[in-house]
Amino acid sequence: MNTDPIADYLTRIRNAIRAKHRVVEIPASNIKKEITKVLYDKGYIQNYKFDDNTPQGTIKIALKYNPVTKQPAIVDLQRISRPGLRQYRGADHLPRILNGLGVAIISTSKGVMTDKEAKTLNVGGEVLCYVY
């Protein structure tokens, strides 16, 4: 049993990038699917596919690399809120990552979104992770 599935999700992506894999396969959950959609919308991953062949299902993520320099689009993933210490922020105290170059993924009452989207909707929530 995994006590922090989001940390496991981020670690699998981080390890796949360091090993220069093209595709990573991760056990699915609703929150992981939403985080995957945000990563795709912001251009951090090339593509994704949800497979429902098993009872839990899996997420297949195609990682994105620069074709010339072979550098990954994701430099780092950091888990912020964790089961032992949840991190909540109001709409006026949402973090800026690398002066706006990175994104903070926030779980709000209106769904999972980036910090910029949460500021425009004026909602706060749990800061799940930083991506840059």
Q: For a pLDDT cut of 90, what percent of the chain falls above it?
A: 95
Kindly report the CATH class assigned to 5-131.
alpha beta
Q: Are 128 and 112 in contact (CB under 8 A)?
A: yes
Enumerate the domain spans of the chain: 5-131
For residues 47, 52, 53 and 58, what is the CA-based torsion angle, rounded to 10 degrees? 50
Q: Which residues touch 93 (CB under 8 Å, ≥6 apart)?
A: 124
pLDDT at 2: 80
What are residue 88's DSSP bridge partners? 126
* pLDDT band of 1, cuts 50, 70, 90: low
Q: Residues 45-71: pLDDT tens digits? A: 999 999 998 899 999 999 999 999 999
Distances in Å between the alpha carbon of 25 and those of 9, 13, 43, 120? Answer: 10, 9, 19, 33
Phi, psi of 101 (to 5 degrees): -80, -30
Q: What is the pLDDT of residues 92-124, one digit of tens each?
A: 999 999 998 999 999 999 999 999 999 999 999
